[in-house]
C-alpha cells in the first residue's frame, strides 16, 4: 500500500528487500557516532546493536504487524513498527534518519501511524515502551498526546540483541495515547 503524503513522502509497508536498509537506518538513529547527529541517540546509555536483520524481518513477516517505511525521493528516511494487539496497537522501532531529525518529520510519521492503526485495525489506543531515563524523548511523545503510565518492564540485561547497557537503571515505561 503506497500512500503519498506531505513533504514528498511516500508511506508503504516494508518488504524483504528493505531489510538491510532498515537495519542501517535504525542503527544510525540510535547507536554510534552517526546517531549523535540527531537527538534520539541512545549512544550514551547503550552500545552494541539496536536491531538486526532477523528482528526486522520478523516484524515484516508477522501476520499481526507491519513495518511502515517512509521514503523521500526513493530513499528510505524513516520507519516504525505497528503491531495489532486487540483493541490497541503497539508502536515501536521508530527511526528517523539523524540528518532529518528536528524538522517535523517525526510528527508527520506518528500521525500517519495513528491514522493507519485506526483505519486498518480499528485500534482505539496506541501503546509504546520507552527507556524511562530518556526524559527528552518521553517529553516529545507527551507533546504528541501520549501519557506516562508508570508501568515499568525490565530492560533485557544480558541479551545483546537489544544492546549493551552502559548503566544499571534501565527499564521500559509504557506510554499510551487514546486514538479518536
Residue 115 maps to a domain: yes
- In angstroms, rounded to a whole number, what is the distance separating the alpha carbons of residues 117 and 26? 22
Q: Which of 27-41, 47-61, 99-113, 154-168 has the lowest mean pLDDT?
A: 27-41
Residue of 1 and 132 predicted with greater confidence? 132
pTM, full prediction: 0.89
- Dihedral sign, Cα of residue 75, residue 92, residue 106, residue 122: positive
Q: Which domain holds residue 99?
A: 3-127
Residue 37 maps to a domain: yes
Q: Residue 2 has what pLDDT?
A: 46
Q: Does the pLDDT at position 42 exceed 80? A: no
What's the total number of domains in the chain?
A: 1
Judge whether 77 and 70 are in contact, CB under 8 Å.
yes
Q: Residue 34 has what pLDDT?
A: 67
CATH number at residue 116: 3.40.630.30
In our burial notation (b when 16+ CB lie closer than 10 A, e otherwise), range 87-105 reads ebbbbebbbbbbebbeeeb
Region 135-145: mean pLDDT is 95
Q: Does the pLDDT at position 32 exceed 60? A: yes
DSSP 158: T
Residue 15 maps to a domain: yes
- In angstroms, rounded to a whole number, what is the distance separating the alpha carbons of residues 2 and 117? 15
Residue 180 maps to a domain: no
Residue 166 maps to a domain: no
- Looking only at the bridges linking them, the beta strands covering 75-85 and 9-13 are unpaired
Q: Per-residue confidence at 124, pLDDT binned at 50, 70, 90?
A: very high
Q: What SS3 class is residue 107?
A: helix
Amino acid at each position: 500500500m503506497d500512500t503519498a503524503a506531505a513533504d514528498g513522502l511516500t508511506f508503504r509497508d516494508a518488504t524483504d528487500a528493505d531489510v538491510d536498509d532498515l537495519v542501517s537506518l535504525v542503527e544510525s538513529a540510535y547507536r554510534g557516532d552517526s546517531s549523535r547527529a540527531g537527538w534520539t541517540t541512545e549512544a550514551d546509555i547503550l552500545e552494541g546493536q539496536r536491531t538486526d536483520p532477523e528482528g526486522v524481518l520478523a516484524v515484516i513477516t508477522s501476520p499481526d504487524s507491519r513495518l511502515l517505511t517512509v521514503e523521500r525521493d526513493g530513499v528510505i528516511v524513516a520507519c516504525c513498527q505497528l503491531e495489532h494487539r486487540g483493541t490497541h496497537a503497539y508502536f515501536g522501532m521508530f527511526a528517523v534518519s539523524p540528518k532529518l531529525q528536528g524538522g517535523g518529520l517525526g510528527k508527520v510519521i506518528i500521525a500517519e501511524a495513528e491514522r493507519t492503526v485506526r483505519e486498518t485495525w480499528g485500534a482505539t489506543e496506541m501503546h509504546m515502551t520507552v527507556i524511562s531515563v530518556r526524559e527528552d524523548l518521553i517529553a516529545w511523545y507527551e507533546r504528541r498526546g501520549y501519557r506516562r503510565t508508570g508501568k515499568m518492564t525490565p530492560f533485557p540485561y544480558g541479551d545483546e540483541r537489544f544492546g549493551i547497557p552502559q548503566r544499571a537503571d534501565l527499564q521500559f515505561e509504557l506510554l499510551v495515547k487514546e486514538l479518536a
